[in-house]
Every structure is written in structure tokens, then in C-alpha cells.
Amino acid sequence: MLETLNNIRVVMPSEGGAGIQSALTSAATAGGGTVQLIPGTYTVSSQIVWPATGSKVWLRGVGAASIMDSTVTGNIYMLDVTASLSGGLS
């Protein structure tokens, strides 16, 4: 994860799903913020779990240029947002 500025955490494609999960957790711990995915393909090898209710965390990509490519197998979702609907995706 690149440096945090104004509660925005930027994740590089090379960090993959682990980087996304780390940035989401960091933002939630800080009381909220935005996780920004820059253009590229993010390989997700395990389920990403959304922070708890009230975390005020947002995950933003750059449209079709930010791709989450899942290697997760089995009957699970790549992104589990059931824990909180108070943040958002955009």
C-alpha cells in the first residue's frame, strides 16, 4: 500500500487481494477512509472481507481499468460485503 494521504489508501496491482484486504482493514481501524485501486489487474487468491458495520470505508476503482481477477475456488464470493453495508463500492 502506498502512503496514506487524506484518508485515501492507494493499492498497487502487484499487491493483489492481500493489499486490498490490508488497506480496507487499515482504513476501518483509522475510523474510515477510501481504498483506491489504480488501473491494473489485482489477483485475488482468498476472499476479501469487508470491515465491520460502521467502518465508513469506501473501495474505489477506475472503472473497467481496475480489474479484480479471482483465483478463489469453491462456492464463495470474492468480495464478502455482508458484514457492513455502511461503506460502499464505487
The answer to whether 87 touches 52, Cβ cutoff 8 Å, is no
Helix (H, G, I), strand (E, B) or coil at 50: coil
pTM for this prediction: 0.80
Residue with cell string 458484514? 83
Residue 31 has pLDDT above 80, yes or no: yes
Predicted local confidence at residue 51, as pLDDT: 86
pLDDT at 87: 47
Instruction: Quickly state the pLDDT bin for 83 (edges 50, 70, 90).
Output: low
